[in-house]
Amino acid sequence: MLLRGGRLGDVSEDVLSYISSRDADKRIFEADLMVDRAHLVMLREQGLIPEDDCSKILSVLREINESDLGDGEDVHEAIETQVISMVGSLGGRMHTGRSRNDEVATCIRVALRDEMLGFIEELLSLIETALSLAVEHRETLIPGFTHTQHAQPTTLAHHLLAHADTFTRDLERLTDAYTRVNLSPLGAAAFASTGFKVDRKRTCELLGFDGLIENSMDAVSTRDFALEVLSDLAILMVNLSRVAEELVLWSTSEFCYLELDNRYASTSSIMPQKKNPDTAELARAKAGSVIGSLVSALTICKALPMSYNRDLQELTPHLWRGMDWTRATVRILNGCLSTVKFNTNRLYEFAGAGFSTATELADSLVRATGMPFRTAHLIVGRLASRGSHPTLEELDETALELAGMKPSCLGFTKEMLERALDPRSNVALRMGTGGPAPAETKRMISDRIFRTGVLADMIRSKRRKVETAMEDLRQMK
Ligand code: ARG
């Protein structure tokens, strides 16, 4: 036991396994080696460790595998123990001027930023899938819903663009959070910094961070960056669960708007005919699990006094779980969407169902006759209560009864009536900003393609910066 020799002596297996973070630390093993390297190089440059000792330690760091490590409270202790067993007591110089408190906070940030960059790229791919489906379906009419009731006709492109825009905001939230994740706490030591002349800016640069978490007490004690990422993931999962729910609902025999590819479906152990949308159901459910991770993490941090508290160790697995579940959900839903078959005939059939053109009929009456919208709403509402598509005579009759006038005498023609009742003309008329008219969705699609391209470039340049720093650091001898 590296740490207990001086003060405490032995510990029981039971206590050790209770306080150990070794399992979760597998996620930060590689990051820890990088943090060790950066710290060592800085110590050498500052003259705080002999050149030879530094080189020896750097060279054994190359040889250590996670599976070589013995037990210990955490990966930091286990790696240090292993270094000392390989180079002798000079290995004990590695921990000069640092603590596991700044070390772990740095490791989590290094591992998390890699996760985030990979994840953001997968999210971009989901957005691209939604956009390319939108390109295909600009003219595909579908029923639009409010309250899960037929409301107005729209297009599949319009619907998919709504999801794509939602996910783009999710992505922007995560890239924004990244700017607060990629900051270095290293050099804060236990919390009060250190009397050794460590160069925090240098380790920051060596590790490819964009800046420091300056206050050393803040640096070791905050996990707000993890809370922020988990919040963003939870919001994203809520948004993803809406797509998942639509896949479930739309694949029922009642809706029959789409069919999932067999690879994303399951069957029943008893009912041989079944094709169940299990992937989408689990995507819907995982939103609950990720929200659970966020709530756990928030609750662990709540009311923690300054500065480092071991409670923080309990948070980290929730961060990785939230990340893994969200990442898997993005991947699976991307697969579902890129292989799904839309039943465009059925969608067209229902685009005008439930008198969903009623709003346009009322609007057309207003435009042609100049009657107040509320009067038109009353007339069309009455017609709707009697069944759907009225003739011009029925319209005149109802208008006369309710408003004392006949629309046909005020310039409302049969052609106007037919156009108002046609779902395709409804959509074509909705060409205002953000509407479903094919020309407008075309504009939105090209705008979104451009914007996702800009985001992809930004992510690539962040990745390049981090990878270059890590590559240079790995080469240091
Ligand atoms: N395993 C610990 C964690 O994840 C590392 C820091 C331990 N620090 C300490 N003072 N015991 O938070």
Tokens standing for residue 237:
């999962």
Ligand 1, atom 3, residue with closest C-alpha = 313
Taking the centre of ligand 1 as the mean of its atom positions, its distance from the CA of residue 101, in whole angstroms, is 6
How many other C-beta atoms lie within 10 A of the C-beta of residue 104? 25
Residue nearest atom 11 in ligand 1 by C-alpha distance = 310
Q: Whose CA is nearest to atom 2 of ligand 1?
A: 313
Active-site option among 85, 268, 446, 461: 268
Torsion of CA 325, 328, 330, 334, to 10 degrees: -160
Task: Give the number of the atom of ligand 1 that is nearest the alpha carbon of residue 74.
Answer: 1
pLDDT bracket for residue 6 (50, 70, 90): confident
Among 8, 104, 306, name the best residue to mutate to test ligand 1's pocket (greatest count of ligand atoms within 8 A of Cβ).
104
pLDDT band at 360 (very low <50, low <70, confident <90, very high): very high
Cross-strand pairs, 150: 145
* Long-range residue pairs from 385-390, CB within 8 A, at least 24 positions apart, any chain: 388/354, 388/355, 389/355, 389/421, 390/417
| Separation CA 388–CA 420 (nearest Å) | 13
**Interatomic CA distance for residues 14 and 379, integer angstroms:** 77
H/E run at residue 124: helix 100-136
Bridge partner residues of 342 (DSSP): 258
Task: Band the pLDDT of 273: cuts 50, 70, 90.
Answer: very high
Closest ligand 1 atom to Cα of 21: 1
Residue pLDDT, tens place only, 128-137: 999 999 999 9
Q: What is the rounded end-to-end Cα distance, in angstroms, of the chain?
A: 29
At 187-198, the pLDDT tens digits run 999 999 999 999
- The alpha carbon of residue 285 and the mean position of all alpha carbons in its chain are separated, in whole angstroms, by 15
Q: What is the mean pLDDT of residues 47-56?
A: 98
For the segment 233-238, the average pLDDT, to the nearest whole number, is 98
Angle (CA) 455-458-461 rounded to 5° is: 150
Backbone angles phi, psi at 277, to 5 degrees: -85, 55
Atom number in ligand 1 closest to CA 190: 10
What's the average model confidence in pLDDT over 197-214?
Answer: 98
Average pLDDT over residues 383-401: 94
Interatomic CA distance for residues 63 and 74, integer angstroms: 19
Q: Which of 361, 342, 351, 333 is nearest to 122 (CA)?
A: 333
Tell whether ligand 1 has an atom less than 6 A from the beta carbon of residue 313.
yes
SS3 assignment, position 304: coil
Q: Find the angle CA(362)-CA(367)-CA(369) to the nearest 5 degrees.
A: 90
How far does the centroid of ligand 1 lie from the alpha carbon of residue 310, in Å?
A: 6
Tens-digit pLDDT profile for residues 105-114: 999 999 999 9
User: Known catalytic residue: 268?
Assistant: yes
Cβ neighbours for 262, distance < 8 A, ≥ 6 positions apart: 275
pLDDT of residue 443: 98
Is the pLDDT assigned to residue 321 strictly greater than 80? yes
Q: Does residue 356 have its Cβ closer than 6 Å to ligand 1? A: no
Q: Are 419 and 352 in contact (CB under 8 A)?
A: no
The two structure tokens encoding residue 66 = 């996670």
What is the average pLDDT score of the chain?
97
pLDDT at residue 109, rounded to an integer: 99
> Please, which pLDDT band fits residue 414 given cuts at 50, 70 and 90?
very high
pLDDT of residue 71: 86
Reply yes or no on whether 216 is catalytic: no
Q: Is 419 in the pocket of ligand 1 (CB under 6 A)?
A: no
Res. 219: pLDDT tops 90: yes
pLDDT of residue 2: 87
Indicate if the pLDDT at residue 241 is higher than 90: yes
Q: From the candidates 12, 89, 147, 385, give the one annotated as an active-site residue.
A: 147
Peptide bond into 269 cis (omega under 30): no
- pLDDT of 1 strictly over 80: no
Q: How does residue 183 score in pLDDT terms, banded at 50, 70 and 90?
A: very high
User: What's the confidence (pLDDT) of residue 372?
Assistant: 98
Q: Which of 2-6, 175-179, 330-334, 471-475 has the lowest mean pLDDT?
A: 2-6
Mean pLDDT to the nearest integer, 369-379: 98
pLDDT tier, 3 (very low <50, low <70, confident <90, very high otherwise): confident
Residue 476 predicted with pLDDT over 90:
yes
Q: What is the pLDDT of residue 101?
A: 98
Angle among Cα 331, 334, 338 to the nearest 5 degrees reads: 145
The answer to whether 365 touches 390, Cβ cutoff 8 Å, is no
**Residue 169 CB–ligand 1 contact under 6 Å:** no
Task: For residues 250-274, give the mean pLDDT.
Answer: 96
- Which pLDDT belongs to residue 455? 98
Question: What beta strand segments (E) does 310-423 contain?
Answer: 341-342
